[in-house]
């Protein structure tokens, strides 16, 4: 599976990539050399709207030209020929990129609202920021949006 670094102008797209299961670092920095070094060292594709950076480093940088988040994602999917992996959906924290851990109900009791605890059975938690995820209605909406991104030309 591809791994990415997104720069400051693609932060929202980066969160969507994580929801799709892609290992995606967010780098809001002007230190381009550092960005390139990490990309090359860790085998990460750097996604940027910085034309100059992309043109001078075509081995590791992909230029994203769209301005709107969903269009940016379409462009990323198209330029890199990404395919949708259902198994990897929602397996990564959208905030900090860590791989989520499955939790039994009792373990997350203090981290979720009462009504969620009483109505849901499957939970996962980010080992870094402790955010708890569950299979709610919002997931269905996100999943539909992702499926649409991959299916439309």
List residues binding Zn ion (CB under 5 A).
93, 95-96, 126, 128-129, 131
d(CA 56, CA 44): 17
Q: Based on CB atoms, which residue is closest to Zn ion, 107 or 147?
A: 107
Task: CB nearer to Zn ion: give 36 or 132.
Answer: 132
Q: How far is the CB of 130 from Zn ion (least distance, A)?
A: 7
Which of 138, 98, 136, 99 minimizes the C-alpha distance to 116? Answer: 136
In angstroms, give the least distance from the CB of 108 to Zn ion: 14
Helices 69-79, 137-151: crossing angle, 10 deg rounding: 50
Choice between 95 and 104, CB closer to Zn ion: 95
Q: How far is the CB of 95 from Zn ion (least distance, A)?
A: 5
Is residue 4 within 8 Å of 45, Cβ to Cβ? Answer: yes
């Amino acid at each position: 599976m591809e791994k990415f670094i997104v720069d400051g102008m693609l932060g929202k797209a980066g969160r969507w990539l994580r929801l799709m299961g892609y290992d995606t670092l967010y780098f809001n920095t002007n230190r381009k050399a550092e960005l390139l070094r990490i990309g090359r060292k860790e085998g990460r594709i750097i996604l940027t709207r910085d034309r100059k950076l992309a043109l001078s480093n075509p081995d590791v940088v992909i230029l994203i030209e769209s301005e709107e988040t969903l269009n940016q994602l379409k462009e990323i999917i198209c330029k890199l020929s990404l395919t949708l992996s259902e198994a990897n959906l929602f397996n990564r924290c959208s905030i900090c990129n860590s791989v989520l851990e499955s939790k039994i109900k009792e373990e997350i009791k203090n981290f979720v609202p009462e009504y969620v605890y009483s109505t849901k059975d499957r939970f996962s938690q980010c080992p870094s920021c402790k955010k708890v995820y569950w299979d709610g209605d919002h997931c269905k909406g996100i999943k539909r949006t992702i499926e649409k991104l991959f299916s439309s030309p």
